Chains A and B, each alone.
Chain A
Amino acid sequence: MNALVVAALLLVLLTLSYQIGWSRSRKLAQGGTETRLHSRPIYHGVLVALFATLPAIVVLGLWALFSDSVAHNFILSQLPASVSQLPPVEVHAAVGRVQAIANGFGVIGQPSPEETAAAGSFASFQRLSFLAVIAAAAALGAGGLFWARRRIGLRLRARTEVEIAIRIALIACSTVAILTTIGIVLSLLADAIRFFTFISPIDFFFGTTWNPRFQSAGTGSAGAYGLLPLLWGTVMISIIAMVVAVPIGLMSAIYLSQYAHERVRNVVKPIIEILAGIPTIVYGFFALVTVGPFFAAAGDAVGLDINATSALTAGVVMGIMIIPFISSLSDDIIAQVPRAMRDGSMGLGATKSETIRKVLLPAALPGVVGAVLLAVSRAIGETMIVVLAAGNSPVLRANPAEPTSTVTVSIVNQLTGDADFTSPQSLVAFALGLTLFVMTLLLNVMALYIVRKFREQYE
């Protein structure tokens, strides 16, 4: 309710100040002999509105941030001193009772006289502070309004000032991306370093057992945090995914761009790209319910022991997910190979497939390699498919038909419970995240570098 009133007042202030600035500058422009304003009235209006509303918004924002804790402390100071000695939960309940009495909801049974007194003074405090804040905001708004209005003159470069304000806002927005990266790096590093105070980095990076015991399970022992089984699982699944995705993706890109009829291309391409838009949880469910049992049954039929949830299942489904990624990237890259090279090869009598295999592909190879690296970095970071279909068994073994686990699965397992951010069991997620981040970063930088070099070659 209060928020609505405040928002309405702000809106009124905004329109009013804009209108004042606009009409004042209009009048100046029509009045005197020298009638040329530097800026159009609209900029004067915006400038006045900025000066009027920004300080008010800052005041109201600060109040919104701190009013709760101020109210809490005020009520505590009104209650007997013994209350603040109570455990936090009871202090909270006592304060809540006073607030309930003050805003008229009341409490069950008879409130104690101290509570009634505290509620009375809190209610008046609340009214007063609300009025004071509104008054301060209004005074600042009015002050800004009058000051900005007095500045309006023929010489005032209102447009330049407004444009500077816009520029500042734009720069602020573009730093969000930088701040995100800094936030990721800092939070991962800080918590990973805290993890390494429990477990030495050597045990983490070169350990071959992954067995993080939860605190409730055992006392004293923190468990083993060897990264290698997870890393191997990640690599194995990525390799399987690439074995599926690269041939199918590359060949369908080649066929669609070199052989297929225009009409076929226009139908088939969007259908394949549907695969890229499907959420990964859907792929995970597909792997768990359809692909896994299919592999297990197929294994039974030929006498092989294949687990329904295994590196094979997760890898194949992840490969399906990556097909459109490979195919659209290779499509772009093949299209960038100069036409003259293709025409030259065909003119010398090579067949279409010979041209593609011996001229186009070697020329496009760096670009395709870059695309594959990008796809690998995607496969490494993929989570939901492996959570559902890889079997969650972090043991070092080479057979892809057995269950396995990955870095991402372990992050989810370690941080999904009620994490307290103090035990190695949950902090290890950040060490794993850091490993993942560095791996994907290296792959991406390498891939972007290769692709860029490739583009420059033919520009």
Chain B
Amino acid sequence: MTDTTLPTNAAGNATRALVRKSLARRHRDEMLFRWAGILSIAAALGFVAILFGMILAKGMPSFWQSTLHVEAYFDPELIEGGPRPERQAGASEADYQKAISDWQRAVTLSNWNAIVDKAVRTAAPDFEIETRDLLKLVTSAARFQIRDLYFANPDLLGQTVPVTMLGSANTDNWLKGTIDRNQPDERQQLAVSTRQLADQLVANGAIRFDFAWHIFTNVDSRSAPASAGLAGAFMGSLYMMLIVIVLAVPIGVASAVYLEEFAPKNRWTDLIEVNINNLAAVPSIVFGLLGAAVFINYLGLPRSAPLVGGLVLTLMTLPTIIIATRSSLRAVAPSLRQAALGLGASHNQTVFHHVLPQTFPGILTATIIGVAQALGETAPLLLIGMSAFIANIPANPLDSATALPVQIYLWQGNENRNFFEARTSAAIIVLLGLMLLLNAIAIFLRTRLERRA
């Protein structure tokens, strides 16, 4: 059975020669094919690297923002409105609230810009600059910030306290060089004196690059882009994710259990099956149309509300959870069911006491994947009005709100491109960080659950 089977005649020799001759070409093809594979993988990995590299490079500097550390004097000659009104005996709550808001209005009308101006000048006493140009240095929210300090504590009148104020978006651009510092004056956003003052304040330590906590604690702002933050969008996303978890998980798991364990195999359940598979592949924007037509137009729920967003995302996430739960139910060993039934457990008892607990890791993974998907979804939310500008943190799921991905969409369209390109990347870092956290929790819990099972 060795050499004897090989053809030894002339034709055989010719074949062998042919094979040998083509061998070099075939090996070259093999090499090429292999390299094509390696190149494809390199391309895919390269895309991941470029994507993350770009986001990190653009976004990380945005977390450290130019901040002024100065002393503010609450000048009694500038601040109007008198003392804070006390509650009069016999006055209704409405009257008291009105008195307070009248006082606040009067206080707001004081010249807070002058107080900001003086505060900044304490850091650079000898610098000659017009007030108009100086105020461009700090964010326009600074005067409200100092006013709010006074609202909270009217005893500050006549005192000098250290305050921190954010530099304006343009100051930040100048100091970080986001706009080329060598550009001629007419292409710079700030006056020459303002830029010189900014440089001097950095040199004498009054402007420092502090970690920008306000990205997490402030809401979006149009008038003061430097102090815009993600808190409102974060709460909106949080409400929506809670609604998704509370609704999609029980409904999804229950449908999966019914379809996999109880439903008779007939036309009707076939239809549900096909239907769920298709629903999983329906474009997300179609769910947005459904939300706009049914929840907002027909049922009259409020626009821009996280409740509506949560419901739309729930419907979108359901197929993911149903399909994943079904496949983990299918993976449970049949012997487990047979043993339970054999010992006299009812069908329900078998499923709920023995089969379902086996699938907890699978359900958990599916839930997290579904929630992460919902967290990053933008298009359907645009259609139900969540792209409106909202300057409050939503107090409940019926308040107007926006969501993290929608905030990214809004910020990338802001006119102050030089500042918001970095800010958008920072928001993306926060969003991706949240998703990473979700996935890490999923992996951690799954390994723990699987070890116990």
Footprint of B on A, CB under 8 Å?
A: 100, 104-109, 159, 163, 166-167, 169-171, 173-174, 176-178, 180-181, 183-184, 187-188, 190-191, 247-252, 254-256, 259-260, 268, 271-272, 274-275, 277-286, 288-290, 320, 323-324, 327, 351-354, 356-357, 374, 377-378, 380-384, 387-388, 408, 411-412, 415-416, 419, 421, 429-430, 433, 436-437, 440-441, 444-445, 448
Known: A181-B275, A256-B41. 9 other contacts (CB 8 A): A174-B255, A260-B41, A275-B48, A280-B379, A286-B54, A353-B29, A383-B284, A416-B382, A430-B289
Residues of chain B within 8 A (CB-CB) of A277 are 372-373, 376, 435, 439
Residues of chain A within 8 A (CB-CB) of B271 are 178
A130 to B372, CA, bound (A): 42
| CB proximity of B164 to chain A, nearest CB, Å | 30
Contact call B286/A433, Cβ cutoff below 8 A:
yes
Interchain CB contact (< 8 A) of A440 among B274, B282, B435: B282
* Contact bitstring B289-333, A, C-beta under 8 A = 1, else 0: 110111001100000000000000001001100100000000000
A49 to B164, CA, bound (A): 59
| CB proximity of B311 to chain A, nearest CB, Å | 11
Residues of chain A within 8 A (CB-CB) of B408 are 281-282, 285
Interface flag for B43 (CB, 8 Å): yes
Interface flag for B163 (CB, 8 Å): no
Interface flag for B246 (CB, 8 Å): no
Interface flag for B124 (CB, 8 Å): no
Interchain CB contact (< 8 A) of B54 among A280, A290, A383, A411: A290
A104 to B27, CA, bound (A): 91
A443 nearest CB neighbor, chain B only:
B281
Contact call A106/B94, Cβ cutoff below 8 A:
yes
Residues of chain B within 8 A (CB-CB) of A190 are 293
| CB proximity of A270 to chain B, nearest CB, Å | 10
Q: Can you name 8 A-B pairs with beta carbons within 8 Å?
A: A170-B258, A177-B255, A271-B48, A277-B372, A281-B405, A286-B54, A354-B30, A384-B379
- Tell me which residues from 337 to 351 in chain B have a Cβ below 8 Å from any Cβ of chain A: 346-348
Please judge, given known A-B contacts A187-B289, A381-B284, whether A411 and B51 are in contact too, CB under 8 Å.
Answer: no
| CB proximity of B290 to chain A, nearest CB, Å | 5
Contact call B283/A383, Cβ cutoff below 8 A:
yes
Interchain CB contact (< 8 A) of B257 among A170, A188, A271, A430: A170
Contact call B378/A280, Cβ cutoff below 8 A:
yes
Contact call B45/A271, Cβ cutoff below 8 A:
yes
* Contact bitstring B147-189, A, C-beta under 8 A = 1, else 0: 0000000000000000000000000000000000000000000
Interface flag for B278 (CB, 8 Å): yes
Interchain CB contact (< 8 A) of B45 among A249, A272, A378: A272
Residues of chain A within 8 A (CB-CB) of B283 are 377-378, 380-383, 408, 436-437, 440
Contact call B378/A384, Cβ cutoff below 8 A:
yes
Interchain CB contact (< 8 A) of A281 among B255, B278, B409, B425: B409
**How many B residues, CB 8 Å from partner?**
91
A410 to B413, CA, bound (A): 17
| CB proximity of A312 to chain B, nearest CB, Å | 16
- Tell me which residues from 15 to 54 in chain B have a Cβ below 8 Å from any Cβ of chain A: 26-27, 29-30, 32-34, 36-41, 43-45, 47-48, 50-51, 54
Please judge, given known A-B contacts A105-B94, A412-B285, A437-B286, whether A279 and B378 are in contact too, CB under 8 Å.
Answer: yes
Among B30, B94, B322, B439, max chain A CB count under 10 A is at: B94
Residues of chain A within 8 A (CB-CB) of B34 are 255, 259, 353
Contact call A357/B405, Cβ cutoff below 8 A:
no
Residues of chain A within 8 A (CB-CB) of B231 are none
Interface flag for B440 (CB, 8 Å): no
Among B39, B283, B348, max chain A CB count under 10 A is at: B283
A35 to B425, CA, bound (A): 71
Please judge, given known A-B contacts A108-B94, A163-B348, A279-B431, whether A180 and B383 are in contact too, CB under 8 Å.
Answer: no
Please judge, given known A-B contacts A252-B44, A275-B44, whether A184 and B376 are in contact too, CB under 8 Å.
Answer: no
Please judge, given known A-B contacts A357-B33, A416-B383, whether A177 and B289 are in contact too, CB under 8 Å.
Answer: no
Contact call B40/A248, Cβ cutoff below 8 A:
yes
Contact call A173/B54, Cβ cutoff below 8 A:
no
A374 to B283, CA, bound (A): 12
Interchain CB contact (< 8 A) of A383 among B39, B254, B263, B378: B378
Among A176, A324, A440, max chain B CB count under 10 A is at: A176
Interface flag for B205 (CB, 8 Å): no
B347 nearest CB neighbor, chain A only:
A163
Interchain CB contact (< 8 A) of B47 among A289, A323, A382, A384: A323
Residues of chain B within 8 A (CB-CB) of A169 are 254
Q: Which 9 pairs show the lowest CB-CB distances between chains A and B? A: A381-B283, A106-B92, A279-B376, A255-B37, A353-B33, A173-B254, A187-B293, A251-B40, A174-B255
Interface flag for B412 (CB, 8 Å): yes
Interface flag for B250 (CB, 8 Å): yes
A278 to B254, CA, bound (A): 29
A289 to B38, CA, bound (A): 28
A162 nearest CB neighbor, chain B only:
B348
| CB proximity of A309 to chain B, nearest CB, Å | 12
Among B287, B297, B348, max chain A CB count under 10 A is at: B348
